[in-house]
Amino acid sequence: MVSLVSILAIFLFFRLGGDKKLGGLTSLAAGVLLAVAWLDTLPEALANGLSFSNLSLTVLLTIVVLFLAEAIFHWHSCQHGNCASEHHRHLAWFNLFGDGLHNFVDGAVIAATFLADVKLGLVTTAAVILHEIPQEISDAGILRFAGLPRKKIYGFNLLFALLAVAGGVLAYFFVLKFFALAFLLAIAGANFIYLALTDLMPLVHESNEQQKIIKQVIWFLIGVVLIYGLEMIVK
């Protein structure tokens, strides 16, 4: 169900002309990713037994590894011309990595809560679905900005969405036994923070037009408020 919801979100993205409003959706994506990281994945990592010191170290190491990956492979987004052929391709792969890991963790969390109590599992599934729609719409904006065509966005989105199923199955047999869930949550959160701060938010400052800047700031705040509101509703 959660995997299919992501496809619905992509359909809404194109149906509503989201691919023609990438400036606003890029800002929305930055707000959503930061809010999901700080309000969802990182607190969940702590709740699942990860100490604050280990959380801090995991987030720092993840950001360092992502930075080195960009530096070594020269995948950093080109913001000063002569890079049209690149189409910000690294954005797509980093976003898909983070989204896939987040979906995997979602599946693991759903499996864990169903093992504890069926009612709790149903509530958790509903909460995950509520988070998936705005998050997947923002992910579609990032993939479109990275230059991927519609068919690839649908295909990659479905493939990485199915990691929720893999997460549920593996969690049932292995993940919970080895206490890896909290570390996966920390890595996913760090990836979202890095992506938002280094590649998406700087794009908001590229425009010198006051009207565009105001619109992008509003979209960014909408992303943050949207996730915060969902967090309040499902608690």
Question: What are the boundaries of each domain within the chain?
Answer: 2-14+24-76+85-234
The answer on pLDDT for 212 being more than 80 is no
The answer on pLDDT for 107 being more than 60 is yes
| pTM greater than 0.85 (yes/no) | no
Are 223 and 134 in contact by the 8 Å Cβ rule? The answer is yes
* CA–CA distance, 156 with 76 (Å, rounded to integer): 21
Cα 37 to its chain centre, rounded Å, is: 8
Nearest Cα residue to 9 out of 134, 155, 144, 146? 134
* CA–CA distance, 121 with 127 (Å, rounded to integer): 10
- The per-residue pLDDT for 85 is 43
Minimum mean pLDDT among 1-5, 77-81, 97-101, 180-184: which range? 77-81
* CA–CA distance, 53 with 38 (Å, rounded to integer): 16
Task: Write out pLDDT tens, residues 69-102.
Answer: 767 655 444 444 444 444 455 667 777 777 787 7
Minimum mean pLDDT among 22-26, 107-111, 228-232: which range? 22-26
